[in-house]
Chains A and B, each alone.
Chain A
């Protein structure tokens, strides 16, 4: 290990990403001194590559993605005292290994600490440094594929709630747009303190004037419906959003000396801020907004206002028709091929697409029965159950705790998705990954149904980085008017966590049924690439 340490000394003085090295070395050392020759060679190769790329690579995208991850468990933090509490990506191996490495690496750690302190001062004096610390990501051995040109990616503010600078920026932006700032509610579990947590009892309309002037009334209505859960579900939210935009466009009139293509986009920004204050935007909504903005900017200048408005309304109608209505029909067609007579199909929660598929299959005279799995606190499965039973399908209803009991009966699992991430992970209602995991254990095929407009360029490997926290009071059970958790806020050691989404790895998903066909989970980046080329 001596030569690697020696090389390390060299690299430390030069490389800006030497933290990455440190992590690797620490981890490598911590893995019980089992460093094989292959590993040593690999490490040497990586160092060389990093030296080459250190000038180009200011911030590879993957790093940025992982940057806002969880505040580190204390052990790696003690190892890097010089760094401010910068988040370290959570990876089981990385977190465990530093523990083991702590004892033998003590003296080296002191040396490293000195070097780190020196580097911090150097780094602080360097211009053009981003405010969030440059922490390494790669706990994976593979070197992060760095991009050739420097890409400055900004973290979305909704995962930076524990950073006061980001909060201040948000507050200023909202004030400028005349959108009220919604304050967080209650104690947040420390792992998720970087996310917003709102209460339904403090609606976003508390601070705006009653005849709203800054925000279009249909957007206010939409925001209220989002925050109260009246419109829930990815497709419903997108459709409602586009409907509200249609009304905004209808009521819009170009001010003098302005261009519709530029002014309308500016008008939409405060509305979008307001909606994200009510409830964080979903991936499908984000894609819809991108599409509309693009369409608006593409309106030619000489187009008259009425004509432009009509064109935009048509665009929106065709988007909904293509991406949602026709897509669900196409997906049903493919999915029905997969449903055979005598099937026992398991569904989770209430996915509009899966319900649609099952209803269509029933109409096409397939013989199957459905098991609806539900979970607290949303209990959306009841709604799915109602729709299926109304159609005439035979259903069984269980809670998710009975999953392993019921799975031996199941022949297929159909899941809906909130978004499909670029690395093949499926982001869906919390509990979905459980279902997929247990189904895998029982060798039951898992099919995810998702329209292509929900494909998202984000990459996520865990459910902590980017999620949504719902109102914690929803978890409180009231029976006969009695609540034991009524004063949960006064108990200092108690935190209520109401997560909304989780991510399922592609290993657990056997097939993704989209309107483009049936693809494996790992083909999502291909679809995204093709989509981008098309546009």
Chain B
């Protein structure tokens, strides 16, 4: 077997607590499908037959009971539960399932919605025998108004500085703005080997990684690494250019921590294959080099290589903020071939449902309702004379007569009283809005929610 897929679905959605305090992030409906369906669909389309899903008990229960998931997803899901409050990072989760991992792995996050041609990422991994291969995409500016956002767009969104070489494939440098104190520090060894480096800042990390099996073994030995994105990836990118370990340098680095040395040593050792001599011979005899201009051989003789595939066109969203969630809901219906109005939905003839809206199963849309550019979830009841524009209505919502909902997000099981006028609001799960209220640009969540930090 070549690759095993690992789906990380235990995250809490910490950047959109308003949406996720009642519903776990993987189950948030996007385009009337749970968020977790999208990466699973991506893996299934590409040909995976089995996925290891790391998630919480709640999500596991939902997955096993959800009829639609069972019919849509034909792969075998090997669900591994972890405690919700264990506060496990993604790397910790990998360490947790180390026994199940027998080959190289493809780690996907549950909030990734993309139509990338996955073979581009995996081909880099295969062809160059890389240790890490990841996917990045150009950041899309979100144009929709986000409910509850006061003032201009958050400038505090941390940027990623990504350095690639001339071909645009080899990953040379990766740092998050948060980790840089005053300026960008580049090691001379990188500049000596790759004098031309392109540094890009407008990239979104899709959190899709192909990792070699030796990296998982390395994680087992180094328990200090908790997060893949935050710690492991920058570590691997840095390690490409550190002095390769042989007997000479081992004696030089006396001041280095013994554990650190062992760690590096492990990674190097674990990545060498059995028939290294033959691979070396083939590379020597081949007249190919990945860079030009200096006297070193291909890959500068380094064993660790990190590659990135940057998507120029196509859809790639990470649904981890409210703005992304809304944008995804807007874009995703185009992916489907299903009819926008589910056959089981009871839509009365005197209502007006726009062509760019989707209605979930078992909905009831009453007369004289107008629904434009919106997503209405499962089992929602929309009474008469309601106008819904540009909104996202989740599952089990009841909207009484005469409401006017614009640019809002109404979460599961909420009830909007009659005659309410909501503009750019976010109504949390299970909330009741009194009739005849007018709210603009507000986030309405339960009072118990306000206590959580």
Interface residue? B287 (CB, 8 A): yes
Interface residue? A109 (CB, 8 A): no
Q: What residues on A are CB-neighbors of B126 within 8 Å?
A: 205, 217, 220-221, 224
Among A57-65, A97-105, A208-216, the one that faces the other chain is A208-216
Decide if A386 touches B48 in the complex (CB within 8 Å). no
Query: For the complex, what is the distance from the CA of A210 to the CA of B1, rounded to whole Å?
Result: 10
Q: State how many angstroms separate the Cβ of A417 from the closest Cβ of chain B.
A: 14
Q: What residues on A are CB-neighbors of B48 within 8 Å?
A: 209-211
| Contact-residue bracket for chain B | 20 to 34
Interface residue? B451 (CB, 8 A): no
Chain A residue with minimal CB distance to B1?
A: A211
Q: What residues on B are CB-neighbors of A386 within 8 Å?
A: 289, 295
Q: State how many angstroms separate the Cβ of B290 from the closest Cβ of chain A.
A: 8
Interface residue? B292 (CB, 8 A): yes
Of A212, A213, A221, A230, chain B has the most CB atoms within 10 Å of the CB of A230
CB within 8 Å of A: which B114-145 residues: 117-119, 122-123, 126-129
Interface residue? A361 (CB, 8 A): no
Interface residue? A395 (CB, 8 A): no
Using a CB–CB cutoff of 8 Å, the interface residues on chain A facing chain B are 203, 205-206, 208-213, 217, 220-221, 224-225, 228-233, 235-237, 239-240, 242-243, 246-247, 320, 324-325, 349-350, 352, 380, 382-384, 386, 389-390
Q: Select B285's contact among A225, A235, A380, beta carbons within 8 Å.
A: A235
Q: What residues on A are CB-neighbors of B292 within 8 Å?
A: 382
Q: With A243-B282, A246-B278, A386-B295 as known contacts, state yes or no: A352 contacts B127, CB within 8 Å.
A: no
Q: State how many angstroms separate the Cβ of A519 from the closest Cβ of chain B.
A: 23
Q: Select A232's contact among B2, B5, B47, B286, beta carbons within 8 Å.
A: B286
Interface residue? B84 (CB, 8 A): no
Q: Select B288's contact among A211, A217, A231, A243, beta carbons within 8 Å.
A: A231
Q: What residues on B are CB-neighbors of A242 within 8 Å?
A: 278
Of A209, A211, A217, A242, chain B has the most CB atoms within 10 Å of the CB of A211
Interface residue? B3 (CB, 8 A): yes
Query: For the complex, what is the distance from the CA of A246 to the CA of B274, rounded to whole Å?
Result: 11
Decide if B279 touches A243 in the complex (CB within 8 Å). yes
Q: With A205-B123, A236-B283, A384-B287 as known contacts, state yes or no: A217 contacts B2, CB within 8 Å.
A: yes
Q: With A205-B123, A243-B278, A320-B278 as known contacts, state yes or no: A383 contacts B1, CB within 8 Å.
A: no
Query: Can you list 28 A-B pairs, Cβ within 8 angstroms, ordered by A?
Result: A203-B119, A205-B119, A205-B123, A208-B47, A209-B48, A210-B48, A210-B122, A211-B47, A213-B47, A217-B2, A217-B126, A221-B126, A224-B123, A224-B127, A229-B288, A233-B286, A236-B283, A236-B284, A236-B286, A237-B286, A239-B285, A240-B282, A243-B279, A320-B278, A324-B281, A352-B284, A384-B287, A389-B295
Q: What residues on A are CB-neighbors of B127 within 8 Å?
A: 221, 224-225, 228, 230
Q: State how many angstroms separate the Cβ of A348 from the closest Cβ of chain B.
A: 12
Further pairs besides A217-B1, A225-B127, A382-B289: 18, Cβ < 8 Å: A211-B47, A211-B48, A212-B2, A221-B127, A224-B123, A231-B283, A236-B285, A239-B281, A239-B285, A240-B282, A349-B287, A350-B287, A352-B284, A352-B285, A352-B287, A380-B287, A383-B287, A389-B295
Decide if B119 touches A206 in the complex (CB within 8 Å). yes
Q: State how many angstroms separate the Cβ of B133 from the closest Cβ of chain A.
A: 12
Which 3 residue pairs of A and B lie closest in terms of their CB atoms, listed nearest first? A209-B47, A350-B287, A236-B286
Q: What residues on A are CB-neighbors of B279 within 8 Å?
A: 240, 243
Query: For the complex, what is the distance from the CA of A4 to the CA of B79, rounded to whole Å?
Result: 87
Q: State how many angstroms separate the Cβ of B129 from the closest Cβ of chain A.
A: 7
Chain B residue with minimal CB distance to A241?
A: B282
Interface residue? B46 (CB, 8 A): yes
Q: State how many angstroms separate the Cβ of B273 from the closest Cβ of chain A.
A: 9
CB within 8 Å of A: which B10-55 residues: 46-49
Query: For the complex, what is the distance from the CA of A377 to the CA of B439, rounded to whole Å?
Result: 66
Interface residue? B452 (CB, 8 A): no
Query: For the complex, what is the distance from the CA of A144 to the CA of B286, rounded to whole Å?
Result: 40
Chain A residue with minimal CB distance to B106?
A: A210
Query: For the complex, what is the distance from the CA of A490 to the CA of B49, rounded to whole Å?
Result: 42
Q: What residues on B are CB-neighbors of A235 within 8 Å?
A: 285
CB within 8 Å of A: which B274-331 residues: 275, 278-279, 281-289, 292, 295
Task: Annotate B49-70 by CB proximity to A: 1 below 8 A, 0 otherwise.
Answer: 1000000000000000000000
Q: Select B129's contact among A211, A221, A229, A380, beta carbons within 8 Å.
A: A221
Q: Select B117's contact among A206, A211, A230, A240, beta carbons within 8 Å.
A: A206
Chain A residue with minimal CB distance to B289?
A: A383
Q: What residues on B are CB-neighbors of A220 within 8 Å?
A: 2, 126
Query: For the complex, what is the distance from the CA of A411 to the CA of B122, rounded to whole Å?
Result: 49
Chain B residue with minimal CB distance to A356?
A: B285
Decide if B128 touches A230 in the complex (CB within 8 Å). yes
Query: For the complex, what is the distance from the CA of A349 to the CA of B286, rounded to whole Å?
Result: 12
Q: State how many angstroms separate the Cβ of B122 from the closest Cβ of chain A.
A: 6
Q: What residues on B are CB-neighbors of A228 within 8 Å?
A: 127
Decide if B1 touches A239 in the complex (CB within 8 Å). no
Query: For the complex, what is the distance from the CA of A225 to the CA of B289, rounded to whole Å?
Result: 12
Decide if B3 touches A211 in the complex (CB within 8 Å). yes
Decide if A233 touches B278 in the complex (CB within 8 Å). no
Decide if B118 touches A210 in the complex (CB within 8 Å). yes
Decide if A211 touches B287 in the complex (CB within 8 Å). no
Q: State how many angstroms separate the Cβ of A372 from the closest Cβ of chain B.
A: 12
Chain A residue with minimal CB distance to B117?
A: A206
Q: What residues on B are CB-neighbors of A352 within 8 Å?
A: 284-287
Query: For the complex, what is the distance from the CA of A225 to the CA of B124, rounded to whole Å?
Result: 10
Chain A residue with minimal CB distance to B287?
A: A350
Query: For the complex, what is the distance from the CA of A325 to the CA of B289, rounded to whole Å?
Result: 22
Task: Annotate B234-257 by CB proximity to A: 1 below 8 A, 0 otherwise.
Answer: 000000000000000000000000
Query: For the complex, what is the distance from the CA of A236 to the CA of B285, rounded to whole Å?
Result: 5
Q: With A209-B47, A221-B129 as known contacts, state yes or no: A232 contacts B287, CB within 8 Å.
A: yes
Chain B residue with minimal CB distance to A243?
A: B278
Q: What residues on B are CB-neighbors of A390 within 8 Å?
A: 295
Query: For the complex, what is the distance from the CA of A77 to the CA of B214, rounded to whole Å?
Result: 63
Q: Select A209's contact among B4, B46, B284, B287, beta carbons within 8 Å.
A: B46
Decide if B284 touches A231 in the complex (CB within 8 Å). no
Chain B residue with minimal CB distance to A384?
A: B287
Q: State how many angstroms separate the Cβ of A311 from the closest Cβ of chain B.
A: 17
Q: State how many angstroms separate the Cβ of B285 from the closest Cβ of chain A.
A: 4
Q: With A221-B127, A320-B278, A390-B295 as known contacts, state yes or no: A233 contacts B119, CB within 8 Å.
A: no
Query: For the complex, what is the distance from the CA of A242 to the CA of B288, rounded to whole Å?
Result: 19
Query: For the complex, what is the distance from the CA of A347 to the CA of B5, rounded to whole Å?
Result: 49
Q: What residues on B are CB-neighbors of A236 within 8 Å?
A: 282-287
Q: State how many angstroms separate the Cβ of A92 from the closest Cβ of chain B.
A: 34
Q: What residues on A are CB-neighbors of B3 within 8 Å?
A: 210-211
Query: For the complex, what is the distance from the CA of A237 to the CA of B282, rounded to whole Å?
Result: 7
Q: What residues on B are CB-neighbors of A350 within 8 Å?
A: 287
Q: Select A383's contact among B2, B49, B122, B288, beta carbons within 8 Å.
A: B288
Query: For the complex, what is the distance from the CA of A19 to the CA of B119, rounded to whole Å?
Result: 52
Decide if B2 touches A233 in the complex (CB within 8 Å). no
Query: For the complex, what is the distance from the CA of A247 to the CA of B286, rounded to whole Å?
Result: 20
Decide if A232 touches B288 in the complex (CB within 8 Å). yes
Q: What residues on A are CB-neighbors of B119 within 8 Å?
A: 203, 205-206, 210
Q: What residues on A are CB-neighbors of B5 within 8 Å?
A: 211
Q: What residues on A are CB-neighbors of B118 within 8 Å?
A: 210
Chain A residue with minimal CB distance to B119?
A: A205
Q: State how many angstroms separate the Cβ of B107 from the closest Cβ of chain A.
A: 14
Q: What residues on A are CB-neighbors of B287 within 8 Å?
A: 232-233, 236, 349-350, 352, 380, 383-384
Q: Select A231's contact among B122, B282, B295, beta carbons within 8 Å.
A: B282
Query: For the complex, what is the distance from the CA of A246 to the CA of B273, rounded to whole Å?
Result: 13
Q: What residues on B are CB-neighbors of A324 within 8 Å?
A: 281
Q: State how many angstroms separate the Cβ of A220 from the closest Cβ of chain B.
A: 6
Q: State how many angstroms separate the Cβ of B325 from the closest Cβ of chain A.
A: 28
Q: Select B123's contact among A203, A237, A247, beta carbons within 8 Å.
A: A203
Chain B residue with minimal CB distance to A386?
A: B295
Q: What residues on B are CB-neighbors of A349 within 8 Å?
A: 287
Q: What residues on A are CB-neighbors of B285 within 8 Å?
A: 233, 235-236, 239, 352
Chain B residue with minimal CB distance to A351?
A: B287
Q: Select B46's contact among A210, A246, A382, beta carbons within 8 Å.
A: A210
